[in-house]
Structure 1
Amino acid sequence: MDRALRDFDKRQKAIRRKHTRMAKGYRNKMNANGVIMQKPDSKIGGYLSRILFLAVLAFMAFKVLLLTGIGEELYMERVSVLQLGNTYERAGAWLMQIDPVTAWLSQQAAAFLL
């Protein structure tokens, strides 16, 4: 009897976990027999992509503010110093180089700030 009760509790906890996950969203999926089953929808990818997008946006904002603040000549001098360093500094110089989006946003920011 004790074993049957433990098995029942285990199944009940699994169902409760599944229903809690399904409350956050689910998708319908057809199994091999043609029966439509509801599966909990994984929302992890959405959070990860949002965090990655915000990190890229913050990095671009940093580059734009830095370029606008110190000017293009001094900015390029500092990037060229980074290009002479070790592997990590060269990777940083490649990331910090002026791309068309950064240049355009810097011009827009300069016009807005002045």
Structure 2
Amino acid sequence: MISYLIVVEDVMAQAHVPFDKRLKRIVRRHDRMQSSGAVKTVTSDGLIVARPRVYRPKFPLRGLLAIVVLGFLFKGAVYASLGTEAYVERVIALQQGSVMEQAGGWIMQADPATKFIAEGFGAVFTE
């Protein structure tokens, strides 16, 4: 009789393991829905299912990328319109100014991307 009780207790302990794992998963999902919101959808059988909202980073990466691209386009347009010598002279003048002007001079240095873009703008400015 004692061996039978030990076997039954062992089986019962193992039966609680999947339940505990499922319960933890449900609680984590509920916590995520509480913190980030929920998206409710209706399935084909008419059941309304709530899922946690997908995390989207709050930092606008696309906006930052657009600013960098526009900056390179601006540098290329200025480089093409001024010419190489005038552009270099102005950048050198910026690098000898205040701290902010030095930062601007460092940013405005002619790099390969600026020269490549300036070649494209060169056809527009020469006509």
> With structure 1 as the length reference, what TM-score do the two structures score?
0.63
Identify the residue that residue 74 of structure 1 maps to in structure 2: 86
CA distance in 1 between partners of 2:92 and 2:73 (Å): 21
CA displacement 1:15-72 (0-9 Å, x = unmatched): 7x822xx36xxxxxxxxxxxxxx53212235x61000001101111110111111111
**Contact persistence 2:75–2:114 (CA under 8 A):** yes
Q: Is 1:39 aligned to 2:58, yes or no?
A: no
**Contact persistence 2:77–2:117 (CA under 8 A):** no
Write the letter of the residue equivalent to 1:104: F
Q: Is 1:52 aligned to 2:64, yes or no?
A: yes
Aligned residues: 84
Which has the larger Rg? Answer: 2
CA distance in 1 between partners of 2:55 and 2:84 (Å): 45
1:109 offset after TM fit, Å? 2.1
**Contact persistence 2:95–2:102 (CA under 8 A):** yes
Mapping of 1:1-114 within 5 angstroms? 18-19=37-38, 22=39, 38-45=51-58, 48-111=60-123, 113=125, 114=127
Identify the residue that residue 7 of structure 1 maps to in structure 2: none
Q: Percent identity?
A: 29
Unaligned runs of 5+ in 1: 1-13, 24-37
> With structure 2 as the length reference, what TM-score do the two structures score?
0.57
Classify the secondary structure of the residue corresponding to 2:37.
Answer: helix
